[in-house]
C-alpha cells in the first residue's frame, strides 16, 4: 500500500501496528534538528525567572555563564512555567512574517510552534545532538517523528503583535506522545489559536516505528502534566477526524519543487513547506475572500531535493454549509477542503490534509 | 531595452536618469510593508534604554503604555544607539532558521536585515501605513524601492547563537539613499557579516523613479550619521562592482514558481524569494563543498503570482582563482558566479546577481 522510496516510508493511519511499518520524520525527515517532540535526559539547565536581572547583567556587557544558562537562554522571552510541566514563550511578529492580509501567515505560526517546541525540549535538558531524545531512546537509536499536525487559528496576529505560546507534552498510549500548544495575544490574553500533534518513535537503523517502552515513557512523563491536559479537549473535533484520500480533485497544481531553503540538514523538506504546497492548489476565490481557520496534516512520506510534487484540493462540503468551530472558537468555518500531496509522476502519497476556512471580516 | 510588464519595470543600472524609467519595489513590489529604507516624519516614540526595567514591568503583568512605547517596543531586544543615528537589535537564531549546514541560511540573514531595517524605521517615527515615508514623500505619493542589495557573511551563526545587527542610513547623492548593516556574534563581538543596499524613490501613481528632493533629503539626513559611514568602506569592492548580463548560462533551473507564502500584501514576490531562486541553479557540487560568502542582487522587475521563473548561473572565473574578501574578512572566495533570473517564456530580466563562495571548513 505504501511503497518504500529510498530509505523512508510512512503510514500514519496505521499507528496500531507501528512495528510492521517503516516511517519518516514527519517534519520532513528532519532527523538531526532538535525535535519539538519531548525527550530529555535530565532536568536541564538552571534557568532564571528574573529576565530583568539577567538582561541587566547582559546589558553591562557580561555575557559569561549565569546559573549555567546560555546567552540565548537569557535573552529568550521564554521559560518553563512554575510547575515546570509546560513552557511559555513570547514572540514579536516580524515584518517579513506577514502576508497578503498584513497578518502572520500560517507558515509563520507553524514555525513559531516548532520553535517553542524546540525551546521547551531544550529547557528540560534534551539531548544536544539535535535529536531531542531521552537516555533510553539514545541507547536504542530511537527518535521522534510526527504523525499528525493540527493547527487552529482564531485570529491572526499582525506585524509587531506579541504572541505568547504555551506548549506541553503527554503520553499517547503506547504509540507515542502528543504535543499541544495554546497561542495567546499577549496584550490582552485572548486565545488566538490552538494546536496539537502526534509523535511516534522510529528506529534510526531500521527506519521502522516502535512502541514506546516503559523506560522511555517514564522519562517523558516526568515532564508532562500529571492529569490529561488537551489544548483542544472535545472528543469530536477536527484534530481527530479521519482524513479520506482525495480521489477526484477539483483543483490541481502540478510541478511544485522543493527549494534549497526548504531543506533541513538531512536534505529533507521541512514540514512547513508542506503547508505551503497544500495552499498552492486552493482556489483563488477562496484565498481572496476567506482566511484559513484550521489545517490538519497526516504525514506519510518524506520529500527529497529532486522530487516534484502535485498539490490536489477539493471542497469537502458545499460552501456555506458550515462546520462548528471547535473548542469555543466563535468563528464558524464556511468551507472545508480536502488535500492530497503526491509525488509526480509516481502518484505516491506524501501527505493528506484538511483545511477549514472562514469568511474574512469586512474592512 | 527593459520592456514594461504590467505597471512595473526596472532599470537599476540607469539610476542617473530615473525620471525616464519605470521602477519596481526592490523588495518585490512590496509597496505596503514597512520598508527597510529610511523615512520618518519625526523623532518617534520615546524608548527606554533600560530593557531590564522595562521587562521587569512587563514581568509583573503590566502591559500598559510605558513612555509611549508599544508592547513590542518593550519586548524587542533592540533600540536606537545613544546618538540616535543608528539602530541595534539582537536576534536568537531559531531552530527552523538553520539549513543543511546546521547554521542560519542566507535567507534567514536577509530576513533579519529586513526586520532590523523595519524596526529602525519604526523607532525614529516612520509613517505607520507601512510605506515608511517622510511627510514630504507622503504629500508627493513617493515610496522607497530597492535598487541593489549586497550581503557578505563571514561566519554563519548556528541555532541559538545570538546575532546583533546594527543598521543606519545615509544619503546617496540625488538618486536615493543607502542602508548599511553590520552583523556581529553577540557572544564575542566578532563581526560575522556586512551588508549594504541602495534605495530610490518611486512615484506610486506613475510608478516612475524620481530624484530625491531637498525636503525629503533634509528629513532623511536628520536621522543619518553626520559623516559618511560605510559598512563596506573600500572603494573597489564587490558591493559596487557592476554585474554583467549572463548570456550563456552553464546551469539552468527552469519553471520556478512563486508560492503564496512568497507574496506580500500586494501579491508581489518578497525579495528573499529571489535569493532562493538564485541558489536554485547553483551546481550541487559547489553547494556541497562551499558556503555562500557574498551575494549581490540588482533588482530590475517584479514577479507576480502566476509568473514562472528561470534561474541561470555560470562561473564568473575558474574555481580556485580566488577573489580578495572585502573589508578585512579573512576568508577568501574560492569561486564567483554570475546569476540571471528571467521570466519564462518571455525571457524578460527580473534581476541579475553575483555570488562568491568559499570552501567549507573541514569538520
pLDDT for res A50: 31
E runs forming strands in chain B:
78-80, 87-92, 142-153, 162-172, 176-185, 191-203, 209-210, 251-256, 290-299, 308-315, 335-344, 349-359
B90-147 residue pLDDT tens = 999 998 898 877 899 999 999 999 999 989 988 887 776 666 788 889 899 998 888 9
Task: Please name the member of B105, B130, B260 whose beta carbon is closest to the beta carbon of A261.
Answer: B105
C-alpha A166 chain-centroid distance: 13
B157-168 residue pLDDT tens = 998 999 999 999
- The contacts of residue B104 (CB under 8 Å, 6+ apart) are B93, B97, B98, B156, B157, B158, B161, B163
What CATH topology corresponds to B73-240? Thiol Ester Dehydrase; Chain A (3.10.129)
pLDDT for res A315: 95
Report yes or no on whether pTM surpasses 0.90: no
Element (H, E) at A191: strand A191-203
**In whole numbers, what is the pLDDT of chain A averaged over residues?**
77
A264-314 residue pLDDT tens = 766 678 888 899 999 999 999 999 899 999 999 999 888 888 899 999 999
pLDDT for res A305: 83
Structural domain boundaries in chain B: 73-240, 243-317+333-362
Q: ipTM value of the model?
A: 0.79
> Torsion angle, CA of B67/B220/B18/B304, rounded to 10 degrees?
-20
pLDDT for res A263: 80
Cβ-Cβ contacts under 8 Å between A and B: the total is 148
Taking the C-alpha atoms of residue B182 and residue B180, their distance in angstroms, rounded to an integer, is: 7
pLDDT of B317 higher than 90: no
User: Per the structure block, which three cell numbers stand in for B186?
Assistant: 553577540
pLDDT for res B134: 84
pLDDT of B352 higher than 80: yes
In 3D, which of B64, B66, B34 has the Cα closest to residue B47?
B66
Name the β-bridge partners of B254: none
Question: What is the arithmetic mean of pLDDT over B173-198?
Answer: 94
Q: Are B277 and B37 in contact (CB under 8 A)?
A: no
Q: Which residue in chain A has the smallest CA separation from B267?
A: A100
Across the interface, whether the CB atoms of A75 and B162 are under 8 A apart is answered yes
Q: Are A165 and A91 in contact (CB under 8 A)?
A: yes
Chain B closest CA to A267's CA: distance in Å?
Answer: 6
C-alpha A188 chain-centroid distance: 25
pLDDT of B5 higher than 60: no
Contacts of B63 in chain A (CB under 8 A): 186-187
Chain A closest CA to B65's CA: distance in Å?
Answer: 11
Intrachain domains B73-240 and B243-317+333-362 with the same fold: yes
Q: For residue A352, what pLDDT band results from cuts at 50, 70 and 90?
A: very high
CATH classification (class only), A243-317+333-362: alpha beta
Chain B closest CA to A5's CA: distance in Å?
Answer: 21
Task: Please name the member of B75, B122, B280 whose beta carbon is closest to the beta carbon of A77.
Answer: B75
Active site residues of B: 266, 268, 303
Amino acid at each position: 500500500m505504501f511503497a518504500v522510496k529510498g530509505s523512508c516510508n510512512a503510514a500514519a493511519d496505521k499507528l496500531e501496528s507501528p512495528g510492521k511499518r517503516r516511517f519518516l520524520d514527519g517534519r520532513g525527515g528532519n532527523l538531526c534538528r532538535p525535535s519539538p517532540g519531548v525527550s530529555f535526559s535530565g532536568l536541564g539547565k538552571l534557568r532564571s525567572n528574573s529576565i530583568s536581572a539577567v538582561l541587566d547583567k547582559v546589558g553591562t556587557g557580561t555575557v559569561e555563564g549565569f546559573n549555567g544558562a546560555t546567552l540565548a537562554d537569557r535573552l529568550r522571552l521564554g521559560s518553563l512555567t512554575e510547575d515546570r510541566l509546560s513552557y511559555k514563550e513570547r514572540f514579536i511578529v516580524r515584518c517579513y512574517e506577514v502576508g497578503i492580509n498584513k497578518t502572520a501567515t500560517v507558515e509563520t505560526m507553524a514555525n513559531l510552534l516548532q520553535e517553542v517546541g524546540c525551546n521547551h525540549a531544550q529547557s528540560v535538558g534534551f539531548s544536544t545532538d539535535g535529536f531531542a531524545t531521552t537516555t533510553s531512546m539514545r541507547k536504542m537509536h530511537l527518535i521522534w517523528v510526527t504523525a499528525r499536525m493540527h493547527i487552529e487559528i482564531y485570529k491572526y496576529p499582525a506585524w509587531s503583535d506579541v504572541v505568547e505560546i504555551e506548549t506541553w507534552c503527554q503520553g499517547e498510549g503506547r504509540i507515542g506522545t502528543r504535543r499541544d500548544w495554546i497561542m495567546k495575544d499577549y496584550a490582552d490574553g485572548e486565545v488566538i489559536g490552538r494546536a496539537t500533534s502526534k509523535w511516534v518513535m522510529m528506529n534510526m537503523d531500521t527506519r521502522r516505528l516502535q512502541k514506546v517502552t516503559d523506560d522511555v515513557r517514564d522519562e517523558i512523563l516526568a515532564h508532562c502534566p500529571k492529569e490529561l491536559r488537551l489544548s483542544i479537549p472535545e472528543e469530536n473535533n477536527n484534530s481527530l477526524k479521519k482524513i479520506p484520500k482525495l480521489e477526484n480533485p477539483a483543483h490541481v497544481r502540478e510541478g511544485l519543487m522543493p527549494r534549497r531553503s526548504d531543506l533541513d540538514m538531512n536534505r529533507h523538506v521541512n514540514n512547513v513547506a508542506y503547508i505551503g504546497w497544500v495552499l498552492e492548489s486552493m482556489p483563488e476565490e477562496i484565498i481572496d475572500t476567506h482566511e484559513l481557520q484550521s489545517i490538519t496534516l497526516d504525514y506519510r512520506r518524506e520529500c527529497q531535493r529532486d522530487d516534484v510534487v502535485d498539490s490536489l484540493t477539493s471542497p469537502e462540503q458545499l460552501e456555506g454549509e458550515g462546520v462548528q468551530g471547535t473548542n469555543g472558537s466563535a468563528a464558524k468555518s464556511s468551507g472545508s477542503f480536502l488535500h492530497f500531496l503526491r509525488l509526480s509522476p509516481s502518484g505516491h502519497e506524501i501527505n493528506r490534509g484538511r483545511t477549514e476556512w472562514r469568511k474574512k471580516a469586512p474592512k
